[in-house]
């Protein structure tokens, strides 16, 4: 269990429709955060709801999060101003195991699954790898963070209004031979398609299932995830505690 840290908001800005970015001064969490982990943020004064939000980037002593407004809690979060205090728990969860992804990993994000890939590509670069990114969005108006990626990044949109017309899995299919491993975060159908391509190509693949999280503390069971047990049977894991990152082969699709 991690201790709470009181973070101070340095900046809050809107990135796209319903998508916000917070830069938070939080030295303890920033010093320990690994890519793929999340912070659990108390949202609102009256209600005691924490929201799990993935870490988008770390520039110690600051960390950056990007989130979608989905309800009361995230709306409250989007209204924070510089100098406001935030009650944070973290870093939490199991992040990406970069050592297993080889020298030329590709990081694939879909929609709100794009933000955690930013820090993951940075960490891979710091570890001496040559990462690439494939970033998928609904349409041009939903494109975020493109300029923040310091590695080769292919942007695609479902409707073709920007970048490559198509899904991240279409781009991956064409480029898979050039990579040594795959890390992905996004909606489950996207992850399933990527896991299948990885299997065909014989590439190690890790998926972050965080879109399935609710409470983030093992209490709501929203995040129960069917996994393959070693004896060939099904076992259930909690995305918030056992993940959010799993080996794609572990997940029952």
Is 82 a residue that touches ligand FES (CB under 6 A)?
A: no
Residue for token pair 């998508």: 19
Is 226 a residue that touches ligand FES (CB under 6 A)?
A: no
Is 18 a residue that touches ligand FES (CB under 6 A)?
A: no
Q: Whole-angstrom Cα distance, residue 6 to residue 69?
A: 22
Q: Whole-angstrom Cα distance, residue 191 to residue 183?
A: 10
Query: By C-beta, is 191 or 223 nearer to ligand FES?
Result: 223
Least gap, CB of 242 to ligand FES (angstroms):
9
Give the chain's length. Answer: 253
Among 215, 227, 247, 250, binds ligand FES (CB under 6 A): 215
Among 53, 56, 207, 223, binds ligand FES (CB under 6 A): 223
Sign of CA dihedral 165, 166, 169, 174: negative
Is 71 a residue that touches ligand FES (CB under 6 A)?
A: no
> What element of type H or E holds 16?
strand 4-16
Is 221 a residue that touches ligand FES (CB under 6 A)?
A: yes
Least gap, CB of 215 to ligand FES (angstroms):
4
Phi-psi region of 220 (alpha: psi -120 to 50; beta: other; left: phi over 0): alpha
- Cis, bond preceding 61 (omega within 30 deg of 0): yes
Query: By C-beta, is 26 or 239 nearer to ligand FES?
Result: 239
Give residues in contact with ligand FES (CB under 6 A).
213-216, 218-223, 238-240
């Amino acid at each position: 269990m991690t201790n709470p840290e009181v973070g101070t908001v340095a900046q809050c800005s809107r990135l796209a429709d319903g998508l916000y970015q917070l830069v938070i001064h939080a030295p303890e969490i920033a010093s320990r955060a690994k890519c793929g982990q999340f912070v659990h943020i108390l949202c609102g004064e009256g209600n005691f709801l924490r929201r799990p939000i993935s870490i988008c980037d770390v520039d110690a002593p600051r960390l950056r999060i990007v989130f979608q407004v989905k309800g009361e809690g995230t709306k409250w979060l989007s209204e924070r101003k510089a100098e406001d205090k935030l009650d944070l728990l973290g870093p939490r969860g199991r992040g990406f195991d970069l050592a297993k992804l080889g020298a030329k990993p590709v990081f694939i994000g879909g929609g709100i699954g794009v933000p955690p890939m930013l820090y993951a590509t940075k960490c891979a670069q710091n570890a001496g790898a040559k990462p690439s990114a494939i970033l998928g969005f609904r349409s041009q108006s939903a494109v975020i963070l493109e300029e923040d990626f310091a590695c080769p990044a292919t942007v695609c949109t479902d409707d073709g209004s920007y970048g490559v017309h198509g899904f991240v899995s279409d781009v991956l299919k064409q480029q898979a031979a050039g990579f040594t491993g795959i890390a992905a975060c996004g909606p489950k159908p996207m992850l399933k398609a990527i896991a299948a391509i990885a299997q065909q190509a014989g590439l190690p693949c890790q998926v972050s299932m965080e879109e399935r999280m609710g409470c983030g503390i093992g209490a709501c069971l929203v995040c129960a995830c069917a996994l393959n047990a070693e004896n060939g049977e099904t076992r259930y894991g909690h995305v918030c505690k056992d993940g959010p990152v799993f080996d794609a082969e572990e997940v029952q699709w």
